[in-house]
A and B are shown apart, each in its own frame.
Chain A
Amino acid sequence: MLNIFNMDMRRLFRSKALYSCIAFLLTVSGTMILFGMLPDFAAATGSVGGETDMMSTMMGVGMVFIILSILFAIGISTDFSSGFSKNIFSRHTNPIRYIGGKLLSLTVIGAIAIIAHTAVSMLLFEFTGTGVSLTGGYLGLFAYLIEKIFVAGALAALILMVYLFTRHIALAMIIGVLVATGTISSLLSVLGEYLEFSFITDVSKYTISGLSGQANLEFQGSVFITILIGSVLWAAVCSALGAKALKRKDIL
């Protein structure tokens, strides 16, 4: 697993896609802050009462996950489109070695993007005079970053699973973006309300975007644990299914 992680980190840091995506993310976020589209740091981090609608999800930290979905899909599909997957899978018999290593490297990339976005947002809010209000102090900020990084890992696992089943980069990207924008959990909530099934509405809180929406700058132990366990469960289920797909499908 560490072999794959080392290999992937080295490759990702040498790919233009990583730098282009992070530059694009920071440019968009910076522009939104400078032009007042994100009024304060809480809005930039998506911590204003949870990400309940499409717009608030797509703004601020939601943008990070949209960009990450694209980056993750590219990072995974390149292994296969380049043919390097033949070197990988002729070497490793256990698919979890690949999936584990890949998830680890994608999560690190996610962490870099989330931390960079947060740091740049804080700097820009200070620069524009808006200031940064850390409602939960630095502990709250730290916990928030950890939560978002875990969610990024779960999102990476989902995109990896979709790609391993379909071997289709566009589909993996679309599913990733739909999850990142909260479209799927929003639809579940609407459906739950329409059918008056509160169960469905409750479940939507535990989707990947639902978990992401629970993260905020005020540190709450129960929320923190829920997000971490929820994300790990999503990653575990997606990894297990991805491993099945790898075992079943030939490497072309």
Chain B
Amino acid sequence: MNAIETVSLTKHYGNKPVVDNIDLVVPKGSIYGFIGRNGSGKTTTQKMISGLARPTSGSIKLFGKSVESQDVRDQIGVLIEEPALFAELSAYENLILQGHNTGIKNPKEQAKKSLELVDLTKAANKKAKQLSLGMRQRLGVAVAMMASPNLLILDEPINGLDPEGIIEMRGVFERLNKEMGITIFISSHILGELSRIATHYGILHDGKLIQQLSAKELAEKSRDYLQIRVSDSQEAHRLIMEKMNPTECTVLEDSVRVFGVDNSRAVNEMLWKNGLAVDEIYRHQQDLEEYFLAQMGGFQLA
């Protein structure tokens, strides 16, 4: 069963489609990285999935049931845009209020657990407005976790966190996912970080879901290339195109990037024989960031 499934999900503001006919599939138990540029429709999609925005058309199912069913709404925790907190109240009080909102039986106990989970126990009595942005983000995650959801919908949850905070949150998400089996639907601009935890990805561009793939598929699709730092990159480009039959070769400032050629020794030898000095040669695996940019570029060109 899928945790989230949308069919032709569309949202218009006025006549402008912000989310355009997307068929999203988030497998149960996955960490789904939802990526796209600012204004691509990520937050609107997450709001519709959380029941906060009404779709213009299309349908949303969570765990096989309509998003309008109270049964499935009891199973989700959300952090959309900024953490939803009462600024004048303490971190602990905000959690207790969420406990009452969700109707859990032991809000005090659960609040303590949630604070521990995001390492905010020491800041429990601080007012939300006195917390740093990073601490508020962590508190937002704790609020979302109060009712022990099966699905977490998180919009940019690591924004504003320092490197240490990002590592901590990564640990939290991994624990929630692996130990508690919670499905996490997460949007983030920090793609390097996302690629460390995500098991699936969806790429949104101008409201359209242009690609949906698993981390395994991404690894297969990501192209290896040879990066060669050489004395004359223009000449190296000409020679490689002529003699090595690459699928693609691009000239950078002091190097060339060669796609579709595996044998680095042969390239090195060929360049050396033609009088070019090779300073450095290495194989590079395209990461999520590069893959994403390539998709965006490709999509724009198309």
Chain A residues proximal to chain B, CB less than 8 Å: 3-4, 6-7, 10-11, 14-16, 78, 82-94, 247-248, 250-251
Contacts and interface: CB of A to CB of B under 8 A. Distances in A.
Interface of B: 47, 50-54, 68-70, 73-74, 76, 78, 80-89, 93, 96-98, 100-103, 143, 147, 153
Most buried by B among A83, A90, A251: A90
A78 B84 CA distance: 11
B73 A90 contact: yes
Contacts of A7: 97, 100-101
Most buried by A among B80, B101, B143: B101
Contacts of B143: 87
B139 to A, nearest CB: 12
Contact of B97 (A10, A90, A247): A10
Given A14-B93, A15-B88, A82-B87, 8 more contacts: A10-B93, A10-B100, A11-B89, A85-B84, A90-B76, A91-B101, A93-B68, A248-B54
Given A7-B100, A10-B100, A87-B98, A16 B88 contact: yes
Nearest to A78: B86
A89 B85 contact: no
A10 B96 contact: yes
Contacts of A92: 70, 73
Contacts of A89: 51-52
Contacts of A248: 54
Contacts of B83: 83
B53 A6 contact: no
A11 B86 CA distance: 9
A84 B70 contact: no
Nearest to B87: A82
A132 to B, nearest CB: 38
Contact of B86 (A84, A90, A94): A84
Nearest to A89: B52
A41 to B, nearest CB: 37
Contacts of A78: 86
Given A14-B89, A90-B51, A83 B73 contact: no
A149 to B, nearest CB: 24
5 contacts: A14-B89, A16-B88, A83-B81, A83-B82, A86-B84
B101 A3 contact: yes
Given A10-B96, A83-B81, A248-B54, A91 B86 contact: no
A7 B94 CA distance: 10
B285 to A, nearest CB: 38
A88 B80 CA distance: 13
A93 B73 contact: yes
B85 A84 contact: yes
A86 B100 contact: no
Nearest to A5: B100
Nearest to A14: B89
A10 B103 CA distance: 14
Nearest to A2: B103
B51 A93 contact: yes
Given A3-B100, A11-B97, A14-B89, A90 B54 contact: no
B78 A86 contact: yes
A78 B78 CA distance: 19
A4 B101 contact: yes
Contacts of B74: 91
A84 B87 CA distance: 10
A84 B84 contact: yes
Contacts of A84: 84-86, 97
A88 B103 CA distance: 11
A179 B147 CA distance: 40
A91 B103 CA distance: 10
Contacts of B86: 11, 78, 82, 84
Given A6-B100, A7-B97, A84-B84, A91 B73 contact: yes
Contacts of A16: 88
Contacts of A15: 88
B39 to A, nearest CB: 16
A251 B85 CA distance: 15
A86 B101 contact: no
B70 A94 contact: yes
A83 B61 CA distance: 25
A71 to B, nearest CB: 15
B52 A86 contact: yes
Nearest to A86: B84
Most buried by A among B84, B87, B93, B153: B84
